[in-house]
Structure 1
Amino acid sequence: MKKQYETVIGLEVHVELATRTKIFCGCSTAFGAAPGAHTCPVCTGMPGALPVLNKKVVELALSVGLAAGCEINRCCKFDRKNYFYPDNPQNYQISQLYLPICHDGCLTIETASGEKQIRIHEIHMEEDAGKLIHDEWEDCSLVDYNRSGVPLIEIVSEPDMRNAEEVIAYLDRLRLLIQYLGASDCKLQEGSMRADVNLSVREAGSETFGTRTEMKNLNSFKAIARAIEGERTRQIELLEEGKSVSQETRRWDDNKEYSYAMRSKEDAKDYRYFPDPDLPPVVISEEWLDSIRSSLPELQPEKMKRYQEEYGLSEYDSRIITESRKMAEIFEKTAALCGLPKKTANWLIGETSRLMKENAVEADKLSFSPGHLSKLIRMTEAGSINTTIAKEVFEKIFMEDVDPEAYVKEKGLLMVNDDEVLERTVEEVLASNPQTVEEYRSGKTKVTAFLVGRIMKQMHGKANPAKVNEILRKKLER
């Protein structure tokens, strides 16, 4: 009988914190600057330069820890992690090994199999390294130190995940939590959220862990899912062949869908940790912790529940809207202004999502005002414009945030409700389509759609559809 295997997965998630300056110096953390533009003696590891801790880093780390249900170490310390890479100018990284700021938390995820709790072993603060840029044409590597010293938190899970679906659900839950807190934008493509996957396989039913490998270079959820399946298959094949799995760090090539060994996997002793002599312990008072706790915003699960109870939205609608903090803000402000939460949800889930996809706009970049969307909804409900015109106007709101009332008036798009004008147009269309009229009178009532279309075309789409249908039906039944 063929052996059955179970996959065991734990994650180390690095998140760049949304501070204006770095963790131990005053250099900017802005993304996309010219190489070396945001550097100083501290973040480039110059002799004699001393670090000074950024208080905002501690506060953001605390907010993530509290939201993730972690215990907080009231006194935490920084340690030096020694290793020698070109992107690490000091030849050590300032991190936390012995007393991390947060520990023993938990997040609840939802998958097709139901709810599951993923334990968080710890969250610690550290500084990021620089970035190596490999030039294949010149066969050399360049280093940009702008990222060196950017503040990170590393969120280390317990090995509680068993497949790619659970991993993606955990990462998505973590990403939303951190974005709602405003602690980071968590953009994988820009490196502000990076996940290393620790994976092993074992025979189903065994309580003993297999030999794990660490997968790096994963910059999208799809790449993470493919890497998990690829590494799982590779390890099972080795075991089936009677070979052993080496404990090592592997780099995933998403284009080739293949991983290759980078180096043997280090343990803590290989880094020769010791307490950083330049940084004093961080003492967290109860008053400071209470102030952080009281400033925590409403998170997605609570917001979803409230939208269903307060606004009468479905679970699906509330989930889609709350997948972005920005979208949720637009929804609440628009619904408050127009008093029509369900209509607001429909515009956000429908037209807004469509235009975001077509124009490659992320939710946090939405720039139209709730006031303009609420005006458009009220105009549509009042019959001032029809649905077709409303969609055309909303596209201008989405792209340029125009005032819909002024735009409709300027372009002459107000809906025609004048009975006399509508009756005259209906009569003209009926007179020019006698054969269609006869078809209707012989029982083919579906031809009314054709006649309505001709009327709307003649009115340049500005006729009130309800009135058009009413007048047309009366005239056809005479």
Structure 2
Amino acid sequence: MAAYEAVIGLEVHVQLATRSKLFCSCPTTFGQPSNSNVCEVCAGMPGALPRVNRQAVHYAALVGLATNCAINQQSVFARKNYFYPDLPSGYQISQFDLPICEHGHLDVEVNGTSKRIGITRIHMENDAGKNIHAQGENVSYVDLNRAGTPLVEIVSEPDMRSSAEAVAYLKALYGIVTYLGVCDGNMEEGSFRCDANVSIRPVGCPTFGTRTELKNLNSFRNVQRAIDYEIARQQDALADGDVIVQETRLYDAVKNVTVSMRGKEEAHDYRYFPDPDLLPVTISDEDMARWRDELPELPHARMRRFVDMTGLPQPEAEVLVQSRAMADFFEAAAGLADARKVANFMLGAFLRELHAGISLDDCKMTPAGLAELVTIVDKGLISAKIANDIFADLMRTGAMPEAYVKEKGLVQISDTSELEAAVDKVLADNPAEVEAYRGGKTKLMSFFVGQIMRATRGKANPALVNDMLRARLG
């Protein structure tokens, strides 16, 4: 079989977190009763005139600035003409030959290797409505609540050569738009979604193969699985002498297959032309300067700083910056206690509780509380084991750790006279193990420590216990 390489480009749709739609004042609230957030403009009524949402322009420009794009201070809306039941006007208002942002890039790392992914363009457009196909009925319904919701579409260059690179790029974009606060990042509600264009070509061939567009990719994992499947499908097709057809394919996550949906359109099929109801969007020099100043420290830069601050490996530091809220929490706590030890708690017990179901929004523990927990472990007031055991309760109650452990009687026993009695009793109760230890089975030390910790309900100072055992056992 010939050796092929994949050529992948992504079209990422980001729903902008504005309160109202792109061309009218209808709210963008998710989950409302069908067709309740609709007016003449987003319903496509004849004679209804759209007006551009200034906040959406602001957010689109921020995305462009954060992805190293050139910002066109004058951009033009165009009509993208096609028929579909959830598109009441018969066209989508998008941007074509003069989008708001162009010629950007993102640098991503995959398996320790840096890769630059070009960004062709970022343009604004309004979303379509939603078709609802009723099960058991020979009828479909249309909900226009989503019609007119502001989106930016981020179109990459076909620079990715593997599903891993595509996912790394997608995660980098996700981090940027959520850090900027321009998107809530809720993939289940469709706030961040992508289509993948996939083709293959013989290794070393300068021309691209025929591409297919993959839709219905609603998670990072499914993006990777769908691309891997499609690459293998195209390789098998060419090996069998078949021709790859340019088409749009749907990904079935249950069966892990892609299936043909329709032929893939070209740009000329949409008959783009400038929207006569909308003036060009003009961004002033003053707005541009102010928006540049608004840019926060973005995830990659913050991750590098956290590596320098803590000495953590990069993959662990990446976990700390997976959301702006997580990174802010860590940084606030790290300013009050040892940063590496704060990071260890966040990467261990903190993440454990998040994965168990508590959300960061519901977490009652404050950064000051986590810092205090680190401090009292350092001081020997409690052991690391007890800190781990009480972490869930601290996250759910917001109790300050020092007061909590004193109230619960969990303060570590560091009184040597009290510990001596416990050590002597454990050694007296286990003569066979004492003899075996002295005979060279030194791994039994952990057995003795465990017995003493059990006898003291986990409150014995482990360091002191180890010292006392070594002194007695010789």
TM-score range (shorter-chain normalised) is: over 0.9
Following the alignment from structure 1 to structure 2, what is the Cα–Cα distance between the partners of residues 135 and 281? 41
Change (3 A) 1:180 1:428: same
Residue 356 (1) aligns with residue 350 (2): no
Residue 463 (1) aligns with residue 454 (2): no
Partners of 1:22 and 1:28 within 8 A in 2: yes
Q: Partner letter of residue 408 of structure 1?
A: V
Which residue of the partner structure matches residue 415 of structure 2?
418
Which residue of the partner structure matches residue 211 of structure 1?
210
Q: Partner letter of residue 103 of structure 1?
A: E
Residue 402 (1) aligns with residue 399 (2): yes
Residue 448 (1) aligns with residue 473 (2): no
Q: Deviations over 1:13-57 (max 9, x none)?
A: 111112222222222223333333333332222333332221111
Shift of 1:352: 1.6
Which residue of the partner structure matches residue 102 of structure 1?
101
Q: Partner letter of residue 350 of structure 1?
A: G
Change (3 A) 1:442 1:199: closer
Partners of 2:364 and 2:394 within 8 A in 1: no
Change (3 A) 1:233 1:456: closer
Shift of 1:321: 1.5
Following the alignment from structure 2 to structure 1, what is the Cα–Cα distance between the partners of residues 327 and 175? 12
Following the alignment from structure 1 to structure 2, what is the Cα–Cα distance between the partners of residues 362 and 135? 34
Change (3 A) 1:47 1:409: farther
Change (3 A) 1:49 1:409: farther
Which residue of the partner structure matches residue 141 of structure 2?
142
Q: Partner letter of residue 274 of structure 1?
A: F
2:345 to 330, 336, 347: 347
Is there any run of 5+ residues in structure 2 with no aligned partner, and where? none
Q: Partner letter of residue 53 of structure 1?
A: V
Bigger shift: residues 411-420 or 166-175:
411-420
Q: Deviations over 1:73-120 (max 9, x none)?
A: 111111111222121122221111121000011111222372221111
Shift of 1:366: 5.2
TM-score (norm 1): 0.92
Shift of 1:195: 1.0
Shift of 1:374: 0.9
Residue 370 (1) aligns with residue 367 (2): yes
Following the alignment from structure 2 to structure 1, what is the Cα–Cα distance between the partners of residues 406 and 223? 51
Change (3 A) 1:208 1:384: same
Which residue of the partner structure matches residue 315 of structure 1?
314
Partners of 2:309 and 2:339 within 8 A in 1: no
Q: Partner letter of residue 99 of structure 1?
A: L
Q: Partner letter of residue 197 of structure 1?
A: A
Q: Secondary structure at the match of 1:417?
A: coil
Change (3 A) 1:421 1:363: same
Residue 57 (1) aligns with residue 56 (2): yes
Is there any run of 5+ residues in structure 1 with no aligned partner, and where? none
Bigger shift: residues 239-248 or 462-471:
239-248
Following the alignment from structure 1 to structure 2, what is the Cα–Cα distance between the partners of residues 334 and 385? 19
Q: Deviations over 1:306-352 (max 9, x none)?
A: 223344444343233223222211111001122x0010111111222
Which residue of the partner structure matches residue 261 of structure 2?
262
Trace 1:378-393 onto structure 2 (pairs within 5 A): 378-393=375-390
Residue 432 (1) aligns with residue 429 (2): yes
Q: Secondary structure at the match of 2:122?
A: strand
Change (3 A) 1:65 1:418: same
Which residue of the partner structure matches residue 172 of structure 1?
171
Q: Deviations over 1:417-443 (max 9, x none)?
A: 223322233333334334444444455
Following the alignment from structure 1 to structure 2, what is the Cα–Cα distance between the partners of residues 378 and 223? 42
Q: Secondary structure at the match of 1:337?
A: coil
Q: Partner letter of residue 432 of structure 1?
A: D
Which residue of the partner structure matches residue 273 of structure 2?
274
Partners of 2:64 and 2:70 within 8 A in 1: yes
Bigger shift: residues 99-108 or 49-58:
49-58
Following the alignment from structure 1 to structure 2, what is the Cα–Cα distance between the partners of residues 29 and 170? 27
Following the alignment from structure 1 to structure 2, what is the Cα–Cα distance between the partners of residues 39 and 191? 19
Which residue of the partner structure matches residue 301 of structure 2?
302
Shift of 1:139: 4.5
Partners of 1:373 and 1:394 within 8 A in 2: no
Q: Deviations over 1:373-409 (max 9, x none)?
A: 1111111111111112101221112333332233223
Bigger shift: residues 33-42 or 347-356:
33-42
Q: Secondary structure at the match of 2:116?
A: strand
Following the alignment from structure 1 to structure 2, what is the Cα–Cα distance between the partners of residues 468 and 243? 72
Bigger shift: residues 270-279 or 231-240:
231-240
Q: Deviations over 1:199-241 (max 9, x none)?
A: 2223333222222221111112222222223323333344444
Following the alignment from structure 2 to structure 1, what is the Cα–Cα distance between the partners of residues 369 and 396? 12
Partners of 2:117 and 2:160 within 8 A in 1: yes
Q: Partner letter of residue 353 of structure 1?
A: L
TM-score (norm 2): 0.93
Q: Secondary structure at the match of 2:268?
A: helix
Q: Secondary structure at the match of 2:145?
A: helix
Which residue of the partner structure matches residue 92 of structure 1?
91
Shift of 1:367: 5.2
Q: Partner letter of residue 181 of structure 2?
A: G
Trace 1:102-141 onto structure 2 (pairs within 5 A): 102-112=101-111, 114-141=113-140
Following the alignment from structure 2 to structure 1, what is the Cα–Cα distance between the partners of residues 385 and 448? 17
Following the alignment from structure 1 to structure 2, what is the Cα–Cα distance between the partners of residues 253 and 211? 22
Partners of 1:95 and 1:125 within 8 A in 2: yes
Partners of 1:107 and 1:118 within 8 A in 2: yes
Partners of 2:363 and 2:396 within 8 A in 1: no
Shift of 1:444: 4.1
Change (3 A) 1:198 1:447: closer
Q: Partner letter of residue 354 of structure 1?
A: R
